Amino acid sequence: MGPRRELKFALESYWSGKSDAAALLEAAAGLRVAHWARQKALGVTNIPSNDFSLYDHVLDTSVMVGAIPEAYGWTGGPVPLDIYFAMARGSQGGDQGTACSHGGHGDNGEARGVPALEMTKWFDTNYHYMVPEFTKGQKFTLASTKPVDEYLEAKALGYETRPVLLGPVSYLKLGKSTDPALDPLSLIADLLPVYVEVLRRLSENGADWVQIDEPCLVLDLDATAHEALRQAYRVFAEALPGLKIMLTTYFGGLGDNLDAALGLPVAGLHLDLVRAPEQLDGVLAKAPQGLVLSLGVLDGRNVWRANLPSLLDRLEPVVARHGPERVEIAPSCSLLHVPIDLDLETGLDPDLKEWLAFSVQKMGELTVLGKALVEGREAVMQELADSAVAASRREASEKVHDRAVAARIASITPELTKRATRFAERARQQRAASNLPPFPTTTIGSFPQTETVRKARAAHAKGAINDADYETFLRKETETAVRWQEEIGLDVLVHGEFERNDMVQYFGEQLSGFAFTKHAWVQSYGSRYVRPPILFGDVSRPRPMTVEWWRYAQSLTEKPMKGMLTGPVTILNWSFVRDDVPRNLACRQIALAIRDEVQDLEAAGAWMIQIDEAALREGLPLRKADWKLYLDWAVESFRIASSGVSDRTQIHTHMCYSEFNDIIDAIAAMDADVISIETSRSKMELLDAFRTFRYPNEIGPGVFDIHSPRVPDAVEMANLLTLARERIADEQLWVNPDCGLKTRKWEEVRPALVNMVAAARQLRLAM
Ligand code: GLN
Ligand code: ZN
C-alpha cells in the first residue's frame, strides 16, 4: 500500500473519477519500484515479484486464470480494470461489507448493478480476499500475464526477482462453487494448464525460481486435497523440469501433512517457524537430499523485534547440519499483515519503540541474521548486541510487568468464572424486575456515525474543538438518539456510541498496557486499512471507562439503558498481542479489567449490560483439533468479565458472524442472559443450531440486515420473527437488528426501526 497509504489514495481517486487509469497504474508501478529498491537496499537477497496487488492477490489469481463469472461481462482478451474492480466492489462501486460493522465497512453494493464477489477472511488474519466463484463447466484460460509482466518489469529495472503465485490447490480450496454438486478441487486438471503456461513463460524469461504459496498445507486436508497436490506438482515438474519451485506454507505447521509436503517434487519448502517452531525437527529428519529449506523465523504476523542472538542459537546448528547452500531465512509469512515502517512513529514511547519491528525493520533483522550465518556473528556484533539489549530491557520493564495484575490473575477462583445462580432462576428474577413486554425490542449499540459526528471527532483530535465543546456536542447527539428511541417505542435503549471511534480502540485507549500508532496501517480489504492497537504490557483499568456516559444516557429516560462494552476476546483478537505471554493470559487480564467496568456499571444502577464478542469466532484456530483449547479460555474470559454481578443484572452479548453450528456448545457455555446475533439473511435458519442444542437463554436474532441500505417493512420482519418462533420459545425471543447501525444513515435507520417496533407489536397482539 505504500508507507503513506499511497495506493489507497490512488485507488480512491480513480474510483471517484478524479483521476484516470494511467495515473493509478503509474502510482502502482511507482510503489513496486520503491519496494524493490527498498528490499535491495536493506540487503534482502531473494526479492519477490508479483507480490503487489491493486486490490487482492486472490482476485488477481482469478483474473489470471480467467475465472471471471459471466455477470461481469468479460468477453476475452486482456481483463479491463473496470471488470477487475467490478469483481472487487460491484459495478456501481458500492463498498463491499463484511460480516460486521467493525472498521466502518460500508454497503455491499447489492441491488445496484452487478454485486461484488463474496469477500471473506484470509485464513486467520484480518485480511479479506475475494472468494473465487466456479460454475458447472468452468473453463480456465490465461487471461492476465501479471506475474510475467511484473517479473519483466523488475528485470528491466535490474532486479532479478522470484515471482510469487498463489498455488492452484489453495486457490481452488479458497473458492466456492455455485453448484453444490461441483467440488472446486475437481477442477484441478483443467486449471493446471494455465499455471503451466505461466510457469513456462516465467522460465523462458529467465526465472530460475518461482515461489508457490500453498498455505492450505497447514489445514486439515482430506485425501482429495492430497491427491490434488500430488497431481499439480507432478504436472509442474514434468512440464518444467528445470524450474525450481519454493513451496511456501505459513500460518501454522504442516502437522499430518508433513509427508505429503515432503513427497512433492519441489526444490524448496518454506516453513512457518514462528507459529510452529516444533515442526523443524521433523522436517530436518525427513527432508529429501537437496531440498532447500526456507526457515520463517521472523514473525510476519506481529510487530515485535526479534531476539537475534537467541534466534542464531537455533539457526546455527541447522545450517551446520543441513548445509548453508540449502538454507534460506525469511519472515514466517508475507509481510502484508504487519505495518510498514516503524520509523514513521515519532510519537511512540521510546522504550516501546525499541521493542518493535515493522516490515522494514524485519527485513533489516533478516539481513543481520543472514550475515551472521554466512560470515559469523563477529560481522554483526553491534546489531546483535543491540537486539539482545532490547530484548532484555523489554523482559525486565516495569511498563510490561505489573505485579498487581499478576497477583489478581493468581487469585482467580472457579467462583469468579461463573454466575452465582443458574440461568432459569436468574431469568425469573430479571423478568419479574424488568416488566418488559413479550418480544422486547432493542438495538445493538451504535447509531449512525454521521459526517457531523466524524468531523467533530476529527476536529477534536486536532485540537480545533476543545474538550468541553466536544463533550457538549456528544451529549446532544446522545440525547437526540435517546429521545428518538423513546418516541418510537423501543423497550431497551442504547446511548448510541457517538463518543467511540472504534469498539476496540475506545477501550484500548483507556486501559493500561495498550499503545496506539499513527501510521501503522495494515490492509483489511481493498483500500481499507486498520491500525490495530498494540497490546504490550499487563492490562489494568486505571479508572471507569463508560460509567459517566451510561449515567448521562440513563438520566434522560425511564426506560432501561444498556451498558455497552467490548468483550475481552474481541479486544484481544483485534489487537497486535504480546508474544511474551500466552494469548489466554493476556485475555484473562483484559477480562478482569472489563469485569471491573461491569461491576461499576452495575453499582451506578445499570441492570442490563451488553458485552460484545464480535470477534470470538474469528479467533478459532485453523486446525479443528485446537478449537477446544481456544474456546475453553475464550469462554472463560467472557465469563470472568460477566460473572461479577447479581442475579438480577442481565448480561447481554452480541456476535456478528453467522455460523454457530460447530461452536454452539461454547456459545451456550458463555451463559449470557441474552445474545443477539446476525440472522436476517439466513431466514432464521441459523436458529436451528440453537434449537437442536436446546439453547436455554434468551436470543435476539437480527431481523434486518445492517449491511444494506434497504429498509424492510414490518410484515417482512414479522415473518422473520414467525420463523424464529418456530425455532425458539416465545419467552426467549428478543427483537433487534443484525448488528450496530453506525455504518448506516439516519434516513435508513429511522424507518427500519419504526417498522421493527411495529413488527414486534403485531406479534404481541396476535399472542
Ligand atoms: N455495539 C457495537 C455496535 O453496535 C457492536 C458492533 C459489532 O459487533 N461489530 O456498533
Ligand atoms: Zn455485529
Report which secondary-structure segment, H or E, holds 173: helix 168-174
Ligand 1 within 6 A of CB of 443: no
- Substitution site in 608, 654, 744 for ligand 1 pocket (most atoms within 8 Å of beta carbon): 654
- Characterize 138-160 residue by residue with b for buried, 16 or more Cβ atoms within 10 angstroms of its Cβ, and e for exposed: bebebbbbbbbebbbbbeeeebe
User: Which has the closest alpha carbon to 305: 710, 579, 560?
Assistant: 579
698-701 and 534-540 beta bridge pairing? unpaired
Question: Could you write out the DSSP letters of every residue in 659-719?
Answer: --GGGHHHHHHH--SEEEE--GGGTTTTHHHHHHHT--SEEEEB-S-TTS-----HHHHHH
| Residue with CA at minimum distance from ligand 1 atom 5 | 740
Query: Ligand 1 center to residue 663 CA distance, Å?
Result: 21
Query: Ligand 2 center to residue 475 CA distance, Å?
Result: 24
Distance from C-alpha of 700 to C-alpha of 436, rounded to nearest angstrom: 14
- Substitution site in 443, 492, 498, 503 for ligand 1 pocket (most atoms within 8 Å of beta carbon): 503
Ligand 1 within 6 A of CB of 100: yes
Distance from C-alpha of 65 to C-alpha of 262, rounded to nearest angstrom: 27
Distance from C-alpha of 514 to C-alpha of 572, rounded to nearest angstrom: 11
Ligand 1 within 6 A of CB of 504: no
Q: Helix 81-89 crosses helix 57-64 at what angle (to 10 degrees)?
A: 130
CB neighbours of residue 326 within 10 Å: 16
Ligand 1 within 6 A of CB of 676: no
Please tell me whether the interface predicted TM-score (ipTM) of this complex is above 0.95: yes
Distance from C-alpha of 326 to C-alpha of 438, rounded to nearest angstrom: 69
Ligand 1 within 6 A of CB of 615: no
Query: Ligand 2 center to residue 615 CA distance, Å?
Result: 9
Distance from C-alpha of 742 to C-alpha of 761, rounded to nearest angstrom: 25
> How many residues are listed for the chain in this entry?
767
The atom number, within ligand 1, closest to the CA of 740 reads: 4
Distance from C-alpha of 687 to C-alpha of 691, rounded to nearest angstrom: 6
Return the DSSP state at 417. Answer: G
The atom number, within ligand 1, closest to the CA of 101 reads: 9
Note whether 246 and 280 are within 8 A (CB). no
pLDDT, the chain, mean: 95
- Substitution site in 126, 446, 611 for ligand 1 pocket (most atoms within 8 Å of beta carbon): 446
Note whether 104 and 742 are within 8 A (CB). yes
Residue 414 neighbours by CB under 8 Å, 6+ apart: none
The atom number, within ligand 1, closest to the CA of 570 reads: 8
Note whether 565 and 507 are within 8 A (CB). yes
Q: What is the pLDDT of residue 92?
A: 65
Q: Which bound ligand lies closest to the C-alpha atom of 739?
A: 2
Q: How crowded is the C-beta side of 187, counted as CA atoms within 13 Å?
A: 30
| CA 636 to chain CA centroid, nearest Å | 22
Residue 17: is it exposed, middle or buried by C-beta count within 10 angstroms (0-12/13-18/19+)? exposed
Query: Ligand 2 center to residue 653 CA distance, Å?
Result: 10
Query: Ligand 2 center to residue 105 CA distance, Å?
Result: 12
Ligand 1 within 6 A of CB of 654: yes
Q: Which bound ligand lies closest to the C-alpha atom of 680?
A: 2
Q: What percent of the chain has pLDDT over 90?
A: 93
User: Which has the closest alpha carbon to 534: 394, 329, 331, 388?
Assistant: 394
- Characterize 193-215 residue by residue with b for buried, 16 or more Cβ atoms within 10 angstroms of its Cβ, and e for exposed: ebbbbbbebbbeeebebbbbbbb
Binding residues: 5-8, 121, 126, 444-446, 497, 574, 612, 618, 654, 656, 678, 739
268-272 and 209-213 beta bridge pairing? unpaired
The atom number, within ligand 1, closest to the CA of 566 reads: 1
| Residue with CA at minimum distance from ligand 1 atom 1 | 445
Query: Ligand 1 center to residue 564 CA distance, Å?
Result: 9
- Side chain identity at 38, as an amino acid letter? R
Q: Which residues are catalytic?
A: 707
In the block, which residue shows the cell 476496540? 504
Binding residues for Zn(2+): 654, 656, 678, 739
Q: Sort residue 356 into left (φ over 0), alpha (ψ -120 to 50) or beta.
A: beta
In tens, the pLDDT along 299-333 reads: 999 999 999 999 999 999 999 999 999 999 999 99
Q: What is the pLDDT of residue 764?
A: 97
Query: Ligand 2 center to residue 445 CA distance, Å?
Result: 9
| Residue with CA at minimum distance from ligand 1 atom 6 | 740
Cα dihedral value 654, 658, 661, 664, nearest 10: -10
Ligand 1 within 6 A of CB of 444: yes
Note whether 194 and 65 are within 8 A (CB). yes
Note whether 394 and 580 are within 8 A (CB). yes
The atom number, within ligand 1, closest to the CA of 445 reads: 4
Mark the ranges of the chain whose per-residue pLDDT is less than 50. Answer: 93-112
Note whether 92 and 86 are within 8 A (CB). no
Distance from C-alpha of 569 to C-alpha of 571, rounded to nearest angstrom: 6
- List C-alpha distances in Å: 55 to 119, 300, 460, 580, 708: 12, 20, 32, 34, 22
Distance from C-alpha of 105 to C-alpha of 96, rounded to nearest angstrom: 7
CB neighbours of residue 730 within 10 Å: 11
Binding residues for L-homocysteine: 444-446, 497, 612
- Side chain identity at 491, as an amino acid letter? D
Return the DSSP state at 94. Answer: P
Query: Ligand 1 center to residue 732 CA distance, Å?
Result: 22
Note whether 366 and 332 are within 8 A (CB). no
| Residue with CA at minimum distance from ligand 1 atom 10 | 740
| Residue with CA at minimum distance from ligand 1 atom 3 | 740
Ligand 1 within 6 A of CB of 503: yes
- List C-alpha distances in Å: 601 to 29, 563, 565, 607, 742: 53, 7, 10, 8, 23
Distance from C-alpha of 197 to C-alpha of 145, rounded to nearest angstrom: 10
The atom number, within ligand 1, closest to the CA of 610 reads: 1
Query: Ligand 2 center to residue 741 CA distance, Å?
Result: 9
| Residue with CA at minimum distance from ligand 1 atom 8 | 614
